[in-house]
Every structure is written in C-alpha cells, then in structure tokens.
C-alpha cells in the first residue's frame, strides 16, 4: 500500500499548539454495500502540534465475515488550523490526506481521499469506474 502525505503547511500556520488525542472509537458501520465497519481510529503521535505530520491508523472489521480485510489502514496527515487567531483544539484543526488501498475481491485498487476534522474522519472514494463505493463518517470520541 502506498501512502501519500498531505499538502505542505504554510510557515505562518506553524504555530506550536498541543492537542489531546481523541483515542480509539467503537465500531461504526459505514456503507460499502453491506458490512464494512471501523473498529478503531488512533492518532500517532497522541499530542501532535499544528504543522506536524500525524498518522491516523484505522482498524477495519468486516461484520459480514465475507473475507479477510486488510487491517490497519495507515494514513499520513498534516494538521492545519481552520483559521488563525483561534484557540487550537480538535475543533479548530483540519487535516487532509490520501491513501491507495487494494481490497480483497475488488478488480482494481481504489484511491481514497480522507478529510479529518476534530470529531470525525470522513472517507470518500474518488471516482473509480463504477467500482464499489466506500463512504461515510467515522466519529472520533474526544
């Protein structure tokens, strides 16, 4: 699996600001035609600073038990504040990243865009010639 880093952060956005780790989440079903769910989302390091790279590790579970699913999926992100002059917290940070994955039984690998906010990690599949759709919102408890 290839990992892609997010776009670089402007020097003016590199203010030092620690945030607490939201920690793992319980399984949350999202749509993949049926039973794909997220078992946990973990951020590494647990207290990143604005402008630092952070890794989001996503553990998957297939509730239908159709086939083994690759776990975990690792996404490289860069934290960015939504706007300057606000108190830094998960509520005021954004991250963007992309990851390419191959899924068992799928004819072609899909490229996925991950948009992470404070309390959610949103997974959106890029157009992939009619292949299965993976989409939904993963809530990260703070």
What is the structure's pLDDT at 123?
39
- Which of 141, 123, 139 has the alpha carbon at shortest distance from 28? 139
Report whether 94 contacts 22 (CB < 8 A). no
Give the chain's domain count.
1
Report whether 10 contacts 78 (CB < 8 A). no
Adjacent-strand bridge partners of 81 = 93
Report whether 41 contacts 25 (CB < 8 A). yes
Average pLDDT taken over every residue of the chain: 41
34 vs 63, which has greater pLDDT? 63
* 0.75 surpassed by pTM: no
Average of pLDDT values for 39-62? 58
* 84-137 pLDDT, tens digit each: 232 222 222 233 333 333 333 333 333 333 333 323 333 333 333 333 333 333
Going along the chain, which residue ranges are E strands? 3-4, 28-29, 36-44, 53-62, 73-81, 93-101, 110-116, 120-125, 135-139
Report whether 31 contacts 60 (CB < 8 A). no
Report whether 78 contacts 95 (CB < 8 A). yes
Residue range(s) defining the domain that contains residue 106: 3-139
Q: How far apart are CA 86 and CA 14, in angstroms?
A: 14
Q: How confident is the model at residue 56 (pLDDT cuts 50, 70, 90)?
A: low
Within 10 angstroms of residue 103's Cβ, the number of other Cβ atoms is: 18
């Amino acid at each position: 699996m290839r990992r892609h880093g997010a776009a670089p952060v402007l020097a003016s956005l590199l203010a030092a600001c620690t945030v607490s780790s939201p920690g793992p989440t319980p399984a949350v079903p999202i749509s993949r035609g049926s039973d794909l769910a997220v078992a946990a989302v973990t951020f590494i390091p647990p207290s990143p600073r604005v402008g630092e790279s952070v890794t989001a590790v996503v553990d998957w579970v297939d509730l239908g038990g159709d086939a083994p699913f690759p776990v975990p999926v690792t996404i490289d992100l860069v934290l960015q504040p939504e706007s300057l002059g606000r108190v830094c917290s998960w509520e005021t940070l954004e991250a963007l990243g992309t990851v390419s994955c191959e899924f068992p039984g799928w004819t072609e690998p899909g490229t996925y865009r991950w948009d992470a906010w404070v309390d959610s990690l949103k997974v959106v599949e890029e157009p992939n010639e009619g292949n299965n759709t993976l989409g939904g919102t993963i809530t990260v408890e703070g």
